[in-house]
């Protein structure tokens, strides 16, 4: 029989559901499970579920991590092709439904269900991740996957369409952002399937998309906190010049403190160089004085970060 283990619940990242007794609930809630409680929408279209599973190109030897299985509509299709599935589900009632669906079948030995919050749960080894992602954990899920070692082969992830489009956005487009750059530093991302809101029960208020995420192997030798720290500054106003964003309140003071800490760690004397002069020197060297983050690709950002490090400017 499939095993079900329980992780400690944590709903800190989830907004409290809003109730309106004047609205009819038939179009907004699942008649069997209170899906609003966990921000879930059950994928009901079997053709769409099959497309998602097919996109993973599963092998008979694959171990699959599924996040948010709901009632198991994707799970049963994954089990037909994979060696083993670990499903992480927040709602105990849905977890019980997934287990019930495979009882008495050959697939029951291939399934383990973890009841709890994916953001907090321990992740097993897996080759492939497939997720009908609860929208409120979209960003934490992506970065938790990308930080996982050993690297997985591919992830097929369903998100709110706007979030998915930000993941795959390119420089000089309206949706290119800190999120886009941070994800594309570590993975190749493609939008592969658009999913109608009518494919879910209850239907969400927005359309959805499925993305394919393939980790870059080996990952770049860059400390994420440094890359993200720089991007946090220069993408704060992506259409403003990079130098202009560094003039924001508190930024120079933070960089000065970071540099003193770095010099001390290297057992180097403080050279009294001003952060403003070092910043101007770096931007001139990499020809970014008038550049805007909205126009810079990942390679441009890595070049800029390396130049900052060369003069002892750090972001974490």
Query: From the annotation, which residues make up the binding site for S-adenosyl-L-methionine?
Result: 41, 43, 68, 89, 117, 132
The phi-psi region of residue 172 (left if phi > 0; otherwise alpha if psi is between -120 and 50; otherwise beta) is left
Contacts of 149 (CB under 8 A, 6+ apart): none
Nearest CA to 212 out of 129, 285, 295 is that of: 129
Annotated binding-site residues read 41, 43, 68, 89, 117, 132
- Consecutive H or E run containing 219: none
Q: CA 139 to CA 163: how far, in whole Å?
A: 9
Q: Is the dihedral of CA 40, 45, 49, 55 positive or negative?
A: negative
Q: CA 197 to CA 160: how far, in whole Å?
A: 10
Task: Measure CA 216 to chain center.
Answer: 15
């Amino acid at each position: 029989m499939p095993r079900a283990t329980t992780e400690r619940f944590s709903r800190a990242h989830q907004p409290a559901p809003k109730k309106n007794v004047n609205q009819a609930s038939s179009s907004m809630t699942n008649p069997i499970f209170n899906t609003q409680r966990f921000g879930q929408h059950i994928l009901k279209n079997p053709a769409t579920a099959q497309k998602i599973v097919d996109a993973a190109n599963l092998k008979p030897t694959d171990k699959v991590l599924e996040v948010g299985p709901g009632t198991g509509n994707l799970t049963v299709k994954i089990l037909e092709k994979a060696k083993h599935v670990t499903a992480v589900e927040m709602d105990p009632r849905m977890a019980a439904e997934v287990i019930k669906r495979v009882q008495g079948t050959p697939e029951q030995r291939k399934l383990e269900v973890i009841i709890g919050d994916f953001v907090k749960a321990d992740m097993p080894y897996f080759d492939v991740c497939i997720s009908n992602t609860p929208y409120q954990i979209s960003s934490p899920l992506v970065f938790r996957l990308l930080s996982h070692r050993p690297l997985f082969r591919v992830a097929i992830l369903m998100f709110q369409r706007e979030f998915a489009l930000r993941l795959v956005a390119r420089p000089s487009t309206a949706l290119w952002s800190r999120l886009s750059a941070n994800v594309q530093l570590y993975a190749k991302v493609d939008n592969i399937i658009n999913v109608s809101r009518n494919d879910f029960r209850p239907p969400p208020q927005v359309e959805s998309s499925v993305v394919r995420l393939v980790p870059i192997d080996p990952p770049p030798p860059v400390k994420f906190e440094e890359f993200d720290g720089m991007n946090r500054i220069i993408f704060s106003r992506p259409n403003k010049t990079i130098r202009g964003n560094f003039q924001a309140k508190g930024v120079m003071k933070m960089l000065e403190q970071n540099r003193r800490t770095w010099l001390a760690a290297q057992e180097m004397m403080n050279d009294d160089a001003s952060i403003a002069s070092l910043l101007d020197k770096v931007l001139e060297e990499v020809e970014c004085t008038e550049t805007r983050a909205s126009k810079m690709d990942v390679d441009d950002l890595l070049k800029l970060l390396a130049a900052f490090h060369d003069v002892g400017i750090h972001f974490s």
